[in-house]
A and B are shown apart, each in its own frame.
Chain A
Amino acid sequence: MSTIITHEHAHHFYDNEQQASSAKLGMWLFLVTEVLLFSGLFVAYTVVKSLHPEMWRVASSQLDWVMGSVNTLVLITSSWTVALAVRAAQTNEKGEKNSQIVGLLAFTILCAFGFLIVKYFEYSHKIHDGLLWGKSYFNHPEAIEHLKEGIKQTFSMDVTALSSPEFLAGLKAHTAAGTHDGQHLIHHYASTVTYADTLMTVEQGHLFFGVYFLLTGLHGIHVVIGMSVLAWVLVLAQKGRFYKDYYTPVELGGLYWHLVDLIWIYLFPLLYLV
């Protein structure tokens, strides 16, 4: 179906080799800038987390790690298929493997699409629960209730009883007597205090979700850009442009896609598992 077009290098290069290696170096530098862009957000993540460690623990438990894991698997698979596509282009003898390249790229794009669908469900869940950033968080009182519920489960105790006046009076008496019971109660009391402290921190929960939406949102934009780049490469592959002497776009598109995956590999544990 396709006619083979031999690629000519641009006028200002000596040869294809110089052009390809320039393009590759340029892409690597671009990836460096991308990493630095995200690193800014990672620093924000670290600082906010160290300011409010308790809140962070509580708020991050609101994320659905199953969905996160599914997405991680999806992206790792897509990284593998895009690598295979590059391999296919490298070993393509003018037109022999065009459909293989196209198929692998299409599968990669499909994975990216799947990732976005999962992300859509996650986002709509968070939006429904009001687990949002900044002011929007405070506009949804149910969000704070939600977190408080989470804390109760984490501490798994009848907290109302622990903070009741009767309990405190009992605690005082037992402590004065120095009984074993007293030690036990003190332990419980300490938990109550931690519990109360933790409860206070949910006010700052919006910071976690702010960082969450910034990081995953920026990453999501990169997924969309990656999909578009790969789609463009797919169209060119369809036309039979790529073979063993010229496959730079496939390679660069692949590199970009690996970066998108790599960032997610960092995001997933930092947001969902920590």
Chain B
Amino acid sequence: MSSNTQANPEYQLGEKESTNYINASKGLMSWLFTIDHKRIGLMYLFTIMGTFALGGFLALAVRLELFTPGQTIMGPDAYNRVFTLHGLVMVFLFIIPGIPAALGNFVMPLMLGAKDVAFPKLNLASFHIYVIGTVMALYTTLDGGVDTGWTFYTPYSSTIDSQVVMMTMSAFVLGFSSIFTGLNFVVTIHKMRAPGMTWDRLPLFVWALYATAIIQVMATPVLGITLLLLAMERVMGIGIFDPALGGDPVLFQHFFWFYSHPAVYIMILPGMGVMSELITTFSRKRIFGYRAIALSSIAIAVISFLVWGHHMFVSGQSAYAGMVFSFLTFLVAIPSGIKIINWSTTLYKGAISLDAPMVWALSFLILFTIGGLTGIFLGALGTDIHLHDTYFVVAHFHYVMMGGTAMAFFGGMHYWWPKMFGKMYNEFAARLAAWTVFVGFNVTFFPQFIMGSRGMPRRYYDYLPESGYQIFHQISTVGSWILLLGMLIMAVNLFSSLKNGKEASSNPWEARSLEWLTQSPPIEHNFHEIPTVVEGPYEFPIATATATPQGAESSDP
């Protein structure tokens, strides 16, 4: 056989149906009140692009301010508000909902061979709640903003004169959206799988979303009650976190990190799921260690609940608490390491093509490796004391969160874009954007490791000119402009593809999971008939492969 397209003629599918989920009904209301998971996914996607742009511009402002010591473009009060808002927007409005609610919503039911999520109305409600929370956060910003940092540490947050109550209520509301999405996904994955879609035939993206959803359901209520307590502290003066009233300010940190550490995995696990899809598809090869990757997602989800104290090594907690948390932190590193090596091994003897999604995936692999390895410094008690709350930490979590999750998000977006809209973007521009972002990212964040370990504290408006930090700040700021350039290329390319893009076939990447069985864009109810699955999601063409994704009967006309 000379090429796999000949071996598998059904990759090139015939005519499309003229009606699909996008043009099935018209008008704004048909979108705002849709219960179709695909439309909800798209609405999330566009909202999240907006919040990412907002968070990104705030980051650019932060970088620009730090270009020179002293005041560059804004005063300290504005700066503190800007970096706080950057954190809040990126965490609560972009990265937590990013992959699950936008990409997951669109793809996951298709991957399961289902017609929708288990509770479509609840899904819509999640989106509406998300929008309400977003509007509250933006309103708070216009109404004076918050300068506490996204962590809201007491007693600063409970005493300072700013809009903390409104902002915590916004995060509280967003928490509900997250809980409902998680709950919906757990039930969907348990109950809505197509015949033959056993747990060991689930795409790893679905496994990752499952682990994520469990954390969302289990951890987010604790955030809810924490923020509620903080609001009560301010409104009623309840005193639980106030030492003057007999309370304990460090208790807040325990509460906060009990949610926010698992939340770190809410952010990264879906990204890891996307990685497994991209790496396999673009090396046209079965994933290495399916079971290890699936189970490590679950292991991460479980252990993530037990490591919150590693954010508090210098908070005055006992040395033995520090020891236990440090130990557990190293345990949680192992499953992540296994995943990285498995992805890398999957490339072995594959047939690799460097299409745009794959470029993003390889960026993830490199950047996340750096992010993960530098985490060892922070998990080890001896070195964390020195590095805690410096730019080293800032660089570390940007390598993990942006170098990891955001790269996976963009990779996934490019991967499923043809499925979502039935259009192909310009491949050259897409690769150019991905490489530019990769370069810009490293220029921005690598210098932060160096100045961090040399002692530059985080959340600093100013630094002394003679301290030697300035050169690192300047390289970093220049890097942020390269990042901006990459992002702009990507945005222009994707949006112009909607108008000018070539038509996409139902399976442009010759992938093997069920979302590629239906046409692009999919019909309203995903599949005419529920497909029956006979094999795993990564059975790429070797001698024995069957023709369609997961061996399912084609449901296209």
Contacts and interface: CB of A to CB of B under 8 A. Distances in A.
A32 B245 contact: no
Contacts of B226: 40
Given A29-B186, A207-B246, A11 B218 contact: no
Interface in B449-496: none
A27 to B, nearest CB: 9
Given A11-B525, A32-B218, A204-B246, A44 B236 contact: no
B354 interface: no
A117 B500 CA distance: 66
A39 B222 contact: yes
Sort chain B's interface into a size bin.
Answer: 35 or more
A48 B114 CA distance: 49
Given A44-B229, A134-B239, A25 B191 contact: yes
Interface in B133-186: 179, 183-184, 186
A21 B190 CA distance: 10
Contact of A22 (B191, B219, B220, B232): B191
Contacts of A34: 221
A18 B239 CA distance: 48
Nearest to A34: B221
Given A21-B191, A29-B183, A40-B221, A134 B237 contact: yes
Interface string A24-44: 011001101110111111011
A214 interface: yes
A47 B251 contact: yes
Interface string A123-144: 0000000000111100000000
B120 A36 contact: no
A11 B116 CA distance: 9
Interface in A37-95: 37-41, 43-44, 47-48, 51-52
A26 B183 contact: yes
B75 interface: no
Contacts of B116: 11-12
Contacts of A266: none
Interface string B217-248: 11111101110010010001111100001111
Contacts of A210: 232, 236, 238-240
Contact of A134 (B238, B255, B530): B238
Nearest to A45: B240
A133 B236 CA distance: 7
A198 to B, nearest CB: 14
A96 interface: no
B120 to A, nearest CB: 7
B13 interface: no
Contact of A40 (B179, B225, B245): B225
B93 to A, nearest CB: 21
Contacts of A51: 246-248
A219 to B, nearest CB: 13
B118 A22 contact: yes
Contacts of B190: 22, 25
A210 B183 CA distance: 31
B238 A214 contact: yes
Chain A: number of interface residues, binned into ranges = 35 or more
A22 B239 contact: no
A32 B217 contact: yes
A41 B228 CA distance: 10
A33 B191 contact: no
Contact of A29 (B120, B187, B237, B240): B187
B399 to A, nearest CB: 31
Nearest to B184: A26
B192 interface: yes
A29 B182 CA distance: 10
B222 A44 contact: no
A133 B237 contact: yes
A10 B237 CA distance: 48
B199 to A, nearest CB: 16
A22 B179 contact: no
Given A40-B255, A203-B246, A204-B246, A22 B221 contact: no
Given A26-B118, A207-B240, A210-B239, A18 B255 contact: no
A211 interface: yes
B120 A12 contact: yes
A47 B119 CA distance: 38
B86 interface: no
B115 interface: yes
B515 to A, nearest CB: 16
Contacts of A211: 240
A12 B238 contact: no
Contacts of A214: 229, 232, 238
Contacts of B246: 48, 51-52, 203-204, 206-207
Contacts of A33: 179, 183, 217-218, 220-221
Interface string A196-225: 000000011011001100100000000000
A207 B239 contact: yes
A245 B179 CA distance: 30
A51 to B, nearest CB: 6
A46 to B, nearest CB: 10
A19 to B, nearest CB: 9
B238 A133 contact: yes
A12 to B, nearest CB: 4
Given A33-B221, A133-B238, A210-B236, A18 B248 contact: no
Contacts of A48: 240, 246-247
Interface in B235-280: 236-240, 245-248, 251, 255
B126 to A, nearest CB: 13
B155 to A, nearest CB: 14
Contact of A25 (B187, B218, B225, B237): B187
Interface in B501-546: 525, 530
Nearest to B238: A210
B190 to A, nearest CB: 6
B115 A22 contact: no
B191 A134 contact: no
Given A33-B220, A36-B218, A41-B225, A134 B236 contact: yes
A44 B240 contact: yes
Given A207-B239, A207-B245, A37 B221 contact: yes
Interface string B182-209: 0110110011100000000000000000
B530 A14 contact: yes
Contacts of B119: 22, 26
A36 B236 CA distance: 23
B262 to A, nearest CB: 11
21 contacts: A18-B192, A22-B119, A22-B192, A26-B118, A29-B186, A29-B187, A30-B183, A33-B179, A33-B220, A33-B221, A36-B222, A38-B225, A44-B240, A48-B247, A51-B246, A51-B248, A134-B245, A206-B245, A206-B246, A207-B238, A207-B246
Given A29-B187, A40-B222, A210-B236, 17 more contacts: A12-B114, A12-B117, A18-B191, A18-B192, A26-B118, A26-B187, A33-B221, A36-B219, A37-B221, A37-B224, A51-B247, A52-B246, A136-B236, A203-B246, A204-B245, A207-B245, A207-B247
Interface of B: 114-120, 122, 179, 183-184, 186-187, 190-192, 217-222, 224-226, 229, 232, 236-240, 245-248, 251, 255, 525, 530
